[in-house]
Structure 1
Amino acid sequence: MSEQHHCTEAARLAALRQLAILDTPAEERFDRYTRLAAAALRVPIAAFVLVDAERQWFKSRVGLDACATPRSIAFCSHAIAAGDTLVVPDARLDQRFCDNPLVTGAPGVRAYAGQPVYSVGGEPLGTLCVIDTVPRAFDAQALRLLRDLAALVQEELNRDLLVRARDAAEAGLRELNEHLEARVLERTRALHDNNELLRQEIARREQVESSLRHNKQRVRNVIDTCLAAFVGIDEEQRITEWNPAAEKLFGWSRAEALGQNVGTLIVPARLRERHDAGMARFQITGDAAMCSQLLELPALTRAGDERIVEMSINHFEVDGQRFLAAFLQDVSARIAAQQALRAKEQLLDAVLEAVDVGVVACDAAGAITLFNRAARKLHNLPPAPAGVPPSLPDGRWFGSHQLRQPGSLDALPDDMVPLRRALRGESVVNVPVEVVVADMKPRLTLVSGRPLTGPRGERLGAVVAINDVTDLAESRGRIVESEERLRTIADNVPALIAYIGPDLRYRFANERYADWLGLDPAAMLGRTVAEAMGELFYGERRAALEACMAGSARVVEGEVRRYGHSRVIRSSYIPHVRDGVVLGAYVFSTDMTAAREHERQLHALAHTDHLTGLPNRRAHEQRLAQAIDRAHRNGSALALASLDVDHFKQINDTLGHGAGDAVLREFGQRLAASVRVTDAVARLAGDEFVIVLEQVHTAAECATIGRKLLDAIRPSFFVEGRILPVTASIGIGWSARPERRALAEAADRALYRTKEAGRDGVSVEQCRDG
């Protein structure tokens, strides 16, 4: 680790420690964003992660059990190192993560997107990330939403630190202003007393003058040590006082500022006309409209940029001449923080208006503060005017006349209304409530809610989420009737038959699922394909299901393993369409295990050498043609190696064909072990072997490969209890623009040269076209 990186990491960890947030309990202010991220991006896992020195710790998480993992395997560590959004569409195909325990094991990470979250000083502290257990690409809209939510998390993370700094600065400024005002008043009284003494006691002039000099120095010390900028101005707008804090704020030294026109020096050009008019009025009347007020105004610095300053100004007279004394404090950071908070609130309001779940909130007194679009639709209410709190005709949400328990005509007692219960401190989960609104069909809803509390546990109000499940409840009744009609027929058909709704949940499954896969058809109902059949099964059929739900029939064939037994299942997905709308999918699956096994055996017999288990001549011809096609597409070179066992006939004649077969098997195994997985070794006949070598860039590289093969063959063979020396002759043809015939002929000519040279060697010939 370089010294620069070490310093950066140390600063980052120091910023993280300063927040004092590690290993703290879960907080709703972060949890709401991880839930929003998971829901908006439709992923099973979302987390707000803080990256410590040796671990990544989850401050908030959805869909994860673990609260921390080692940093060495953390995706988020890569994200903060990159300093930008990290997107991994398929971790299994990414060299950085393909062997990561989080990918190979639980939770089975496939797709990942993480946006860094920074401290006030710009150090990356962690990420807001989303994770899917299946490969996927995140479009620009999804990544923009992730960045927006991460910005909200970042503001929430740094809010307390900014608020503490602002409060401390404001308290210091107030204390300083009070102190300065007291000192100015004290000085005024002293000056008045001294003037009286001068008139009454001329003899004490020297003593009075000494006292005045002392007081002046004391005021100078106060002004010079003041944390707020102090600017003194005469009635001609000339600067008479300019303390060190003013030098720091505006960039001009005291020597440069004294005597300068204050409007030209620090008032922005667009405001100078109004400033000059006010100063002219002050010259005539002695009245300054801004005096004795606390104002926020833009001020100009030496660099030409503007700062928002909080200013208090007073006027006084000395020897008949009017002066203004102004104290100024830079509040740009506070204003920016306030603007950021307002932007966050606007974004949160927009998200709540966009979701299809009704959301209602109230303050600690029970007054409605939020009634989103989905809630208004459920209650048949128009939008509230901008800036006006939402309300209902009776001033309450869910008045007793509007609610009742499902199946009952009695109104729900007011103290049992979910929002009231949440306001009392209860956590309400999926409470069934029937909403009755005039001139509307009653709606069945599931309501969940919880109290809202502040950082110190103070009660702020309550919030509830309302899910309208009316249509779902009605459709379930129809599905039950349909299943009863289908089951008698379907249970007796020698195939898997199922019906899947648009939400990818099983609504029907016949008894063959129990016979073939050991699954209880009744337990499958209401579960998603992934839940009932497993993520692997769903991943292989996801594209077919999506196409079917879009209206196109699909056929998928794959292996399904259950209880140690494997079946090849061929599934047809047929869309159920009514009036142009896809209502679901019919699934018909047949067992193709026996047919595919027969095909596999036939293919193996036709393409495998029975002695060595290597590909035979037919398989070699196919692989060579495929390699040539790839080389043409990629513009790459190709090599073909021909190999013979030296003096193989002598081995057969002296030791017998059994020993010869053993030599050929060992010879083939050594060749296969010596080449890359992308290279194809085959036995053509007798002791003739070939190797297709892809991505070999030069003819000289072929010679290196040939020597490696010779080194693999030369160690003695142990055949039928005997140590047998075996060598090989190798010829390699190489071409930059390979053609099958020319490549084979070049390899044969090179092999012939090797044998003429005494065998146990390698020769390389470059094709004329290459």
Structure 2
Amino acid sequence: MPVLPANEAERLHALRDLAVLDTPSDMQFDALCRTACALFHVPMATVTLVDADRQWFKAKCGFDAAETPRMGSFCTYAILTDDVLVVEDARLDPRFATSPIVTGEPYIRFYAGAPIVLAPGIRIGTVCVQGTEPRGFSALERAQLADLATLVAAQLTLRRTEARLRDSEAHYRLLADNTSDMIVRSGLDTRRQYVSPASRTLLGYDPEELVGSLPMDHIHPDDRDSFARVLADLGEGRMAQAVTRQRYRRKDGSWVWVEVTFNLTRDPVDGRPTGYVAAVRDVSEREEAVRRVSHMARHDALTDLANRTLFHERLTQRLAAARRGGEGFSVLCLDLDRFKAVNDGLGHQAGDALLCRVAKRLKALVGDADTVARVGGDEFIIIHAIDRTEAGESLARRLIGAIREPIDLDGEPVVIGVSIGIARAPHDAADADSLCRYADLALHQAKGAGRNTFRFYEPGMSFGRAVRSRVAL
């Protein structure tokens, strides 16, 4: 049986904090399950949350049960690692061969589950797919399933943040009858006629300092055009209500994200527009939460390097620029030498610490125009903004030298190495798949040459039998 995660109490606390257990079916997550079934050609998919003694299905496709016991479940094993758990034939796996859902309905033979990582080391469940026939699961499919799990984690985090904001806003409305918002009364010329005392907290101004001023005087330059259009529509009576989001300049010169709700006011006798009332609310936390969610979806949770998704976006952008006549670039595929020995000998925690140290060294050696990504356990890839052979060779030598420097892991000096494969665009290839495959081919040659070295891609290079590319997009 699998052991409990070392941080089980922290994991369960995070799961409870989401407040999603035993909640109604969710259309977005149900759609994600249907997408997973179609993408991987399987009959069943679930978004599973692993509770203390059960696994509960937040969403599902092709699966009838609402929950099953946690003991001996596939997902219990899947949350013990950041990697995708793949069971190609459950009847041949002693962990699951006697499971009721393997020997009986729904007769699961194949399983793949990617953990939902809420925060580094906090895995609350899985996005998993199941089938009734044994099958393999490629590296690309593993990456795609992991991407779906990342999206679920990001959505859950965003919902929790929005729920907290809603609760907070409702609390203050009850206590102070909206006095936490800055209330503004303006004429059709948008000049402020009244400003509530909340201006001191929001913008650092006393209300009297803002009376007679124009909102455009405090708008961030990047937000001016869209905000001016809304004010014009209100002033000319083309719009009765509007909600905008932009940055206001505070008295100290800093910027704050605000949401402004406008309501047009009319003369009670003839109904003509006379101005508007606006409620201005600080939404900095919400904007920061959206930024963090976006960051999580495109960065590796352990090292904070770019993940496979962001790497692919940057690579696609670089190739498009090169096709338009821009400068070429290089892709360097890196694989750490002797990392497994450290990970197995000193434990996964030491292995994670080692990967973080390596990530810092890699970032320190590249330029601002370069991208460093982690695309696997101990596999990294770099987009280098220069495609000249001598530049790639110089960077590769510096990378090898930096990685070879001893790394102190709680008093234990560790020495590892790195093998590097290099492909150049558009010299070697002008499409993403070929370029990555060629860089991986060159890496394979470097490891075969004794490791801790580098090789450029050359036509005619090939993998050995049964070896496949590890950086397929």
Taking structure 2 as the reference length, the TM-score comes to 0.49
Larger radius of gyration: 1
Taking structure 1 as the reference length, the TM-score comes to 0.31
In terms of fraction of residues, the more helix-rich structure is 1
